[in-house]
C-alpha cells in the first residue's frame, strides 16, 4: 500500500488526472481497500466491483476470463480448462429448492483483487452471504489468539539461526463436508457466457435468475469471513 501511494505521488506532477487519483487514493486506508474487495480503475481512480468490471470495455475480456475460471473451479471445469476442480457447487432450477428451505436461500458475492505475484494475477472469488445462512452445524473458523502469534514470532526473532515457514492449503474450505446442502440465488447476468453455455444454464434459469446448490460435500465456511 505504501509503495503504491509513493508511486502515485511520483506520477502526479504536472498531471491533473493523476493528482486527483492520488488525493482519492490517499483517503483510503488499507482496511477500506480490503473491505472494498474491488479493483481500482487506473484512469478514474474509482473502485470497480465484479459487475462493473464485466461491463467495462477496458476490463471486460480479462475479468470475464477470471470469473469463468472461478466458476469452473467451483463446478467441474469449463472449456476443458482448470485444475483442482472441487464440485463445490451444482446449478439447479429454482423449483428444485425444497419448500421448507426457501427462507434459507442466500446470495452470492464476488471478490475481485489483483495479485501481480501470482500466475493468474486477476483473481475472482465467489463467496456466500454469511448473514443469510441458517446452517445448523459449525460455521466458525478457529483461529489462533494474538498472544500465541506474538509468542511464536518473538521466539523466532530471539533464536539465532532460526527459520520460519508458512503454508497455504489450496481449496481448504471447499472440501469440508456439509451435513445438509445449502442454496444460493444468483442472477444469470453475473455468470460468464462461457459457463452458461458449458453448464446449459439457460435451461435451468427462471426468468433471469437461477439457484445454486452447495452439496453436502461442499464447504461449511465458504463466505467472506472465512475466505
How long, in residues, is the chain?
227
Confidence (pTM): 0.66
Judged on CB neighbours under 10 Å (0-12, 13-18, 19+), 126 is buried
Report pLDDT for 189. 85
Q: How confident is the model at residue 61 (pLDDT cuts 50, 70, 90)?
A: very high
Judged on CB neighbours under 10 Å (0-12, 13-18, 19+), 41 is middle
Instruction: Give Cβ neighbours of residue 7 (< 8 Å, ≥ 6 apart).
Output: none
Taking residues 162-174, report their average pLDDT.
80
* Cβ–Cβ under 8 Å, residues 19 and 12: yes
Report pLDDT for 66. 92
Taking residues 149-178, report their average pLDDT.
85
Report pLDDT for 37. 60
Q: How confident is the model at residue 12 (pLDDT cuts 50, 70, 90)?
A: very low
**Which region among 44-58, 79-93, 146-160, 202-216 has the lowest average model confidence (pLDDT)?**
202-216
Query: Does residue 29 register a pLDDT over 90?
Result: no
Query: Does residue 220 register a pLDDT over 80?
Result: no
Amino acid at each position: 500500500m505504501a509503495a503504491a501511494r509513493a508511486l502515485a505521488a511520483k506520477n502526479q506532477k504536472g498531471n491533473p488526472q493523476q493528482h486527483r487519483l492520488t488525493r482519492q487514493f490517499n483517503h483510503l486506508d488499507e482496511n477500506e481497500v480490503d473491505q472494498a474487495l474491488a479493483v481500482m480503475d487506473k484512469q478514474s481512480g474509482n473502485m470497480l466491483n465484479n459487475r462493473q468490471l464485466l461491463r467495462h470495455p477496458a476490463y471486460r475480456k480479462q475479468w470475464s476470463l477470471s470469473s469463468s475460471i472461478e466458476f469452473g473451479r467451483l463446478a467441474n471445469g469449463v472449456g476443458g480448462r482448470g485444475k483442482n476442480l472441487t464440485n463445490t457447487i451444482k446449478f439447479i432450477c429454482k423449483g428444485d429448492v425444497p419448500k421448507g428451505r426457501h427462507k434459507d436461500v442466500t446470495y452470492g458475492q464476488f471478490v475481485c483483487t489483483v495479485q501481480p505475484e501470482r500466475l493468474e494475477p486477476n483473481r475472482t472469488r465467489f463467496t456466500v452471504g454469511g448473514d443469510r445462512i441458517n446452517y445448523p452445524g459449525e460455521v466458525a473458523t478457529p483461529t489462533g489468539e494474538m498472544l500465541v502469534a506474538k509468542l511464536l514470532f518473538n521466539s523466532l526473532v530471539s533464536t539465532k539461526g532460526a527459520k520460519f515457514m508458512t503454508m497455504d492449503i489450496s481449496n481448504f474450505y471447499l472440501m469440508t463436508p456439509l451435513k445438509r446442502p445449502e442454496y444460493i440465488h444468483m442472477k444469470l447476468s453475473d455468470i460468464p457466457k462461457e459457463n452458461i453455455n458449458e453448464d446449459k444454464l439457460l435451461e435451468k434459469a427462471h426468468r433471469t435468475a437461477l439457484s445454486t446448490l452447495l452439496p453436502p460435500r461442499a464447504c461449511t465456511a465458504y463466505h467472506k469471513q472465512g475466505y
